[in-house]
Structure 1
Amino acid sequence: EKLTQEQKVEKLIKQLQDQNVDVRMNAVRALGKIGTPEAIKAAEDAIPFLIQQLQNDQDKWVRMLAAMALGPIGEGAVNAVPTLIQALQDQDVSVRYYAAYALGKIGEGAVNAVPTLIQAFQDPHATVRQGAAEALEKIGTPEALKAVEEYQSRQ
């Protein structure tokens, strides 16, 4: 039988608890990909789990995919902002980049991330610096936009 969108998301949320890292990764990836309004609404139910993966998972791929999955949820993922701010300091470059990406997708709701995103201009990796600039542009406060201008004039 065909699963409803909600049933699919519930199944994926259960898989986030799986012992197997590949199962967890695929669940996170699938939640991020389901792009319909219903799915995004349903994916919002997974936010607490995604936050948990991002904070606690030992596997950098799982942390990266959790940050990546929070992006498409956008404004609905505003509760993840404090965790995404922490993730900007992750030792893994991909986690840092996708944390910036997700904060940009959250937009104005991520205003508390502005100081940390500005600090990310010091990141040794250009992708992270670029991700921070894009996120700051999307957050769009005067402080954020001024920081991006200054950063770009130094490039």
Structure 2
Amino acid sequence: MALTFRGAVEQDVERIVEMLADDLLGKERERYAQPLPASYLEAFQAIDADPNNELIVAVDGTGRIIGVQQVTFTPHLTHQGSWRATIEGVRTDSTVRGQGIGGQLIRYAIGRAKERGCRLIQLTTDKQRPDALRFYEGLGFTATHEGMKMKLEATEL
């Protein structure tokens, strides 16, 4: 399927949240509602204002957003003071999963990382998503580290 990739705009946020909420884990942690919680627009504005963050949407031939990912570029003292890219929040519309859209999204992110001079690209995938792990391995990623997270108490949204 031929796709166009572009930076997300504020009008895309509702569609992005819809995709984030439309999976096993997302439906438990996202709040896709009308009106959309203000926290999503605030997060979008912070991402959009940061030159080291890109919220990228994949658009099909009809103009419909069918994929999204966030790529964050970070300078590090490790690896001889190089930059790395982190891919997060990768989702494709549930009606087109399995059609190669995710692979195109990730290859686009890899291209952006190369353009930005990154020497490393990283991502995490939830252990409850074994298919995602195989997907990323098929694209050349290797599970070289054990990742850890700590949830912090959120303020009332």
Tell me, yes or no, whether TM beats 0.5: no
Q: TM-score, normalised by structure 1?
A: 0.30
TM-score, normalisation: structure 2 = 0.30
Between Structure 1 and Structure 2, the one with more strand by share is 2
Q: Which is helix-richer, 1 or 2? A: 1
